[in-house]
Amino acid sequence: MALTREQLASIAALARLDLSAAEVPVYQQSLSSILEFVGALERVDTANVAPMAHPLPGLSQRLRPDEVTETDHHEEYQENAAQVAAGLYLVPKVIE
């Protein structure tokens, strides 16, 4: 299936990716060809086949006791942030 320019723009918006004008037709073309390629799956009969949920059959998600095991490292972690103040991450104003 061929994606329109508008469809591509809406995917990019959903993915929170700013694309340049030059990138749009490139992705329009390559995403369309990828979707056509994976479209081969449509023709496979999967009636009564459950979707695979885990690569190791029969394993369920492990649980642990609800106990605090981690210690506070927020100062160290915030060293990787572009803007922090008073232990908080700064972002542009959200509410006027």
Partner 1 sequence: MSELHHTSLTALAAGLRARRFSSVELVRAFLARIDRHQGALNAFISVTGERALKEAQAADAALAAGAPGALLGVPIAHKDIFCTRGVRTTCGSRMLDNFVAPYDATVVAKLKAAGAVMLGKTNMDEFAMGSSNETSYYGAVRNPWNPQLVPGGSSGGSAAAVAARLVPGATATDTGGSIRQPAALCGITGIKPTYGRVSRYGMIAFASSLDQGGVLTNSAADAALMLREMAGFDPRDSTSVEREVPDYVAALEAPLTGLKVGLLKEFFEGLERENEARIREALRIYEGLGAKLTEVSLPNLPLSVPVYYVVAPAECSSNLARFDGVRFGHRCENPRDLRDLYCRSRGEGFGAEVKRRIMTGTYVLSAGYYDAYYLKAQRVRQLINADFIRAFQSVDVLIGPTTPTPAFEIGAKTADPITMYLNDIYTIGANLAGLPAASVPCGFVGALPVGLQVVGPHFSEARVLAVAHAFQRATDWHTRVPQGYA
Region of residue 58 (phi > 0: left; psi between -120 and 50: alpha; otherwise: beta): left
Kindly give the residue spans of alpha helices, DSSP state H, lying in 1-96: 5-14, 23-38, 74-78
Report residue 32 as tokens.
């369309």
C-alpha–C-alpha distance, residues 47 and 68, integer Å = 45
Scanning residues 32 to 61, which ones bind partner 1 (CB under 8 A)?
33-35, 37-42, 44, 46, 49-57, 59, 61
Q: Does 88 bind partner 1 (CB under 8 A)?
A: no
Q: How far is the CB of 37 from partner 1 (least distance, A)?
A: 5
Q: How far is the CB of 68 from partner 1 (least distance, A)?
A: 14
- Classify strands 88-89 and 84-85 as parallel, antiparallel or unpaired: antiparallel
Q: Does 65 bind partner 1 (CB under 8 A)?
A: no
User: Residues in the site for partner 1, rule: CB under 8 A?
Assistant: 8, 11-20, 23, 26-27, 30-31, 33-35, 37-42, 44, 46, 49-57, 59, 61-62, 64, 73, 76-83, 89, 91-94
